[in-house]
Amino acid sequence: MVLAAIIRLNAGVFGSLDNALMHAAADPAYLGRVTFVVMLSMVGLAPLSYPLGISASLGPIAMASDAVRRVELFRIARRDLAA
């Protein structure tokens, strides 16, 4: 949790620095276009990565539930064979 907070704080600082340096290097006639491309890449494309995050977080849960199901099925089968 602490690591996530540190990463988030650094992301804000370096994101602001990145925007300032890009705007300083861009030709004034293209500032709007530069801002559009930067914001599209930083904010607009983020929802495309949501499925990756969801699958990465649900993967361990799915593996654990599969292991629990296998153990339970094995226990039921062993009980049925003993009867």
pLDDT (0 to 100) of residue 12:
83
Assess whether pLDDT exceeds 70 at residue 76.
yes
Report whether 34 contacts 22 (CB < 8 A): yes
Three-state DSSP class for residue 83: coil
Could you tell me if 39 and 63 lie in one domain? no
Domain check: are 55 and 37 in the same one?
Answer: no
Lowest mean pLDDT of 25-29, 32-36, 76-80, name the range. Answer: 76-80
59 and 38, same domain (yes or no): no
Pairwise pLDDT comparison (76 vs 64), residue with the higher score: 76
Crossing angle of the two packed helices 2-25 and 31-39, in degrees rounded to 10: 160
Q: What is the DSSP string of 21-80?
A: HHHHHS-GGGHHHHHHHHHIIIIITGGGGHHHHHHHHHHHHHHHHHHHHHHHHHHHHHHH
Q: Which residue range(s) make up the domain with 57?
A: 50-83
